[in-house]
Structure 1
Amino acid sequence: MKKWISATTLSLLCLALPVKAEQYRFTYTKLYYQLKVNQKEGHDDVRMALFFNDAKTGKACQITKAWMEKEEHYEEFTIPSNQELPLPIDNNLKSANPLVYIQTEEGKQCDISMEVLANKSFRDSVSAKELRDLTVQMDAMLADIGGMFAKYFMPDVEGITFVFSDAVTSGVAVSTGDVLPLNNGKVTVDLRKYKDDVKFILPGEALKVTPWLVK
């Protein structure tokens, strides 16, 4: 079953648009205008990314197949382990405006999600300074997304959240002796609590590294 979804109202971080079908269809330009912020300068180490998340758990749905097509032209996407849709940002594709199709796990309701992520993959250990430098760029990207008044209403990024696969069962160890707990596959680091030289030892490779904003 196919169902058309408008992407004009995607939010900056995560917008739930419940759809019962397992196949989703967009025009390329609808997604392009959400992701073109990646072309701006000032946040080269972070990006806006597109996911389909389980409506019940918030975890990424498995994308079983995704492709673009326009008349006789067809291109299938290779989906990475974190289940991001790797849509290219290209002016020629914007002009051609192909249809983009995404198939997810059968019988699972998935919500579309636009998320800010670190470009670099993280495993083993990382310092508080490295993470703090990332949050500066995440702030800059969120400001670009939100427009000129965003800084007056958007809280600062004060930390990061590591997202791990279901195979990871332990939290993040800190060089201070603490252990940050794993909660639903995620570990949040409040960087206000740590000096630059503090190290965080990861229990496995992080699928995502996202901003944490104080509520």
Structure 2
Amino acid sequence: MKKWIGATTLSLLCLALPVKAEQYRFTYSKLYYQLKVNQKEGHDDVRMALFFNDSQTGKACQITKAWMEKEEHYEEFTIPSNQELTLPIDDNLKSANPLVYIQTEEGKQCDISMEVLANQRFDGSVSIKELKELAIQMDAMFADIGGMFSSYFMPDVEGITFVFGDTVTEAVKLSNGKDLSLKNGRATVSLEKYADDVRILLPAEPLKVTPWLAK
């Protein structure tokens, strides 16, 4: 089944689609205007990313195929292991405005989600100080998303969440002897609780490193 997503229904947060769908179709410009915040300065180590998440579990749906086309022009996307739709941000493509198609695994209802992610790959360990510096850039990204006035009402980034694949079950360990248990494949670090020199010891490379927002 094909589902057309109009300009008024795509948001910066999660959008629940009311039907089970296997193929989604967008105009390129709809996605461009959501992702162009990545072109602004001040948050080079983080990005806005596009995912399709399982409406039941919140985990990324498997994208089986994604491409864009305009008349005789066709380009297929390579999907990384974290299932991000890596759409190029290009003014010429915005002008041409091709159609973008995404196919997800059969029988699952997937929600479109725009997420702020760290660009860096984390493997082994990372210090609280490094994560605090990353959180500052995430706050800057949210300020750009919110705009001049609504940015005052955007939540603060108080921590960092590591998202792991299904095969990872081991707790995330801290150098001070404490553990962070996994919940639905996620471990969240509240940055204010720990000194800058505490290190996070990762059991595997995370699929995503995302902000944890204040309630």
Global fold match (TM > 0.5): yes
Distance 2:138 2:16 in 1: 21
| Equivalent runs, 1:136-155 vs 2, <5 Å | 136-155=136-155
Q: CA RMSD in A?
A: 1.1
Is the CA contact 1:163–1:185 (under 8 Å) kept in the aligned structure 2? yes
Residue in 2 that maps onto 1:132: 132
Query: How far is the alpha carbon of 1:15 from its aligned partner?
Result: 3.1
Is the CA contact 2:135–2:211 (under 8 Å) kept in the aligned structure 1? yes
- Residue 89 (str. 1) matches residue 89 (str. 2): yes
Aligned length: 215
Query: How far is the alpha carbon of 1:7 from its aligned partner?
Result: 4.4
Structure 2: 5+ residue stretches without partners: none
Residue in 1 that maps onto 2:120: 120
| Equivalent runs, 1:10-159 vs 2, <5 Å | 10-159=10-159
Is the CA contact 1:172–1:187 (under 8 Å) kept in the aligned structure 2? yes
Q: Deviations over 1:25-79 (max 9, x none)?
A: 0000000000000000000000000000000000000000000000000000000
Identity rate of aligned residues, in percent? 81
Distance 1:157 1:126, change over 3 A: same
Is the CA contact 1:7–1:31 (under 8 Å) kept in the aligned structure 2? no
* Runs of 4+, deviation exceeding 4 Å: none
Distance 1:135 1:7 in 2: 30
Structure 1: 5+ residue stretches without partners: none
Residue identity opposite 2:11 in structure 1: S
| SS of residue matched to 1:148 | helix
Is the CA contact 2:45–2:134 (under 8 Å) kept in the aligned structure 1? yes
Residue in 2 that maps onto 1:180: 180
Distance 1:92 1:151, change over 3 A: closer
Is the CA contact 2:160–2:209 (under 8 Å) kept in the aligned structure 1? yes
Residue in 2 that maps onto 1:167: 167
TM-score (norm 2): 0.97
